[in-house]
Chains A and B, each alone.
Chain A
Amino acid sequence: MKPVNSVKESATRLRPLNEPRPVRVRTDDRGTPLKVARGRRTHAVAAERERWRIEDEWWRIPVSRSYHAVVLESGQLATLYQDLTTGRWFLQD
Chain B
Amino acid sequence: MPEIRSRGSRSALCLWLPTFELRLELVRSPELDATSVALLSTEGGMRRTVWQVSERAHEAGVRPGQLVSQAVSLCPSLTLLEPDPSHYDAAEEAMLEILAGLTPVVEPAGRGRVFLGMDGLARLYGSPPNQIRRALRALFPVFPPPLVASTRAGFAPGKFGAWVAAAEAGPGRPVIVTEGDLADFLDRCPVSALPVDETMIQRLERLGIATLGELARLPEPALVAQFGPQGREARAWATALRIDPVRPWHRPRPIRVSLDFPAPVGQTAPLHGALDRLLERALSRPARRGRSVVGIRLAARLEGGGSWTAEQILREPTARKETLSFALRARIALSPPQRSVETLILEVFQFGPPSSQAELFGRGQGGREAAGRDLVEGEVPVSLKDAVRELKLRLGHSPLYRVVEVDPWSRIPERRHALLSFDP
- Which residues of B from 130 to 169 have beta carbons under 8 Å from A? 141-144, 147
* Given A16-B418, A60-B303, A4-B412 contact (CB < 8 Å): no
Tell me the bound Cα distance from A59 to B87 in angstroms. Answer: 26
CB of B111 to closest CB in A, whole Å: 12
Contact A7–B414 (Cβ < 8 Å): no
CA distance A24 to B143 in the complex (A): 52
B345 contacts chain A at the CB level, 8 A cutoff: yes
Shortest distance between the CB of B65 and any CB in chain A (Å): 27
The reply to whether B412 and A56 contact each other, CB–CB distance below 8 Å, is yes
Within 8 A of A (CB), among B246-273: 256-264
Give the interface segment out of B171-179, B288-296, B374-382, B399-407. B399-407
- Is A92 touching B94 in the complex (CB atoms < 8 A)? no
Q: Is B184 an interface residue (CB 8 A)?
A: no
Tell me, rounded to whole Å, the shortest Cβ–Cβ distance linking A20 to chain B. Answer: 7
**Residues 1-51 (chain A) with a chain B CB within 8 angstroms:** 1-5, 7-20
Q: Which of A1, A16, A19, A60 contacts B142 (CB 8 A)?
A: A1
Cα distance A60–B262 in the bound complex, in angstroms? 14
A2 smallest CB distance to B (angstroms): 7
Q: Residue B24 at the A interface, CB < 8 A? A: yes
Complex interface bits, B113-127 against A, C-beta within 8 A gives 1, otherwise 0: 000000000000000
Cβ of B420 within 8 Å of any chain A Cβ, yes or no, is: yes
Taking CB atoms, residues of chain B closer than 8 Å to A17 are 403, 414, 416-419
**Interchain CB contact under 8 A, A11 and B260:** yes
- In the assembled complex, B7 has its CB within 8 A of some CB on chain A: no
Of B24, B413, B417, the contact of A92 (CB 8 Å cutoff): B413
- Chain A interface main SS type: loop
Q: In chain B, what residue has the closest Cβ to A79?
A: B413
A54 lies within 8 A of chain B by Cβ: yes
Contact B97 A18 (CB under 8 A): no
Contact across chains for B412 and A54 when beta carbons are under 8 A apart = yes
Interface assignment of A84: CB less than 8 Å from any CB of chain B? no
Could you tell me if B27 and A15 are in contact, using CB atoms closer than 8 angstroms? Answer: no
Q: Which residues of B contact A9 (CB under 8 A)?
A: 90, 256, 258, 345
Given known A-B contacts A18-B416, A20-B414, A11 and B343 have beta carbons under 8 A apart: yes
List chain A residues, Cβ under 8 A from B141.
Answer: 1, 3
User: How far, in whole Å, are A13 and B259 apart by their CA atoms in the complex?
Assistant: 6
Taking a contact as CB atoms under 8 Å apart, the answer to whether A11 and B345 are in contact is: yes
B91 at the interface (CB under 8 A from A): yes
In the complex, the answer to whether B420 meets A12 with C-beta atoms within 8 Å is yes
In the bound complex, how far is the Cα of B177 from the Cα of A76, in angstroms? 85
User: Most chain-B Cβ atoms within 10 A of its Cβ — which of A5, A10, A12, A60?
Assistant: A12
What's the Cα separation between A16 and B264 when bound, in Å? 12
Residues in B with CB closer than 8 Å to A10 are 258
8 Å CB contact of A1 from B94, B264, B404:
B94
A63 and B412 form a contact (CB under 8 A)? yes
User: In the complex where A5-B28, A9-B258 touch, is A14 in contact with B412 (Cβ < 8 A)?
Assistant: no
CB distance from B264 to the nearest CB of A (A): 7
Chain A residue contacts of B144, Cβ below 8 A: 3-5
Is A18 touching B411 in the complex (CB atoms < 8 A)? Answer: no
Q: Which of B383-424 contact A (CB under 8 A)?
A: 401, 403-404, 406, 411-421
Contact (Cβ within 8 A) A19 B414: yes
B322-344 at interface with A (beta carbon < 8 Å): 340, 343
Partner of B259, one of A1, A3, A8, A12: A12
Given A7-B91, A19-B414, A56-B411, do A14 and B258 touch, yes or no (CB 8 Å)?
A: no
B residues less than 8 Å from A20 (CB atoms) = 414
Whether B417 pairs with A1 at a CB distance below 8 angstroms is no
In the complex, chain A residues whose CB is within 8 Å of the CB of B419: 14-17
Residue of B nearest to A56 (CB): B411
- How far apart sit A60 and B261, CA to CA, in the bound complex (Å)? 15
List 14 additional contacts besides A2-B94, A5-B28; criterion CB under 8 Å.
A3-B143, A3-B144, A4-B91, A4-B94, A7-B87, A7-B91, A7-B94, A9-B345, A12-B420, A14-B419, A17-B417, A19-B414, A54-B411, A60-B340
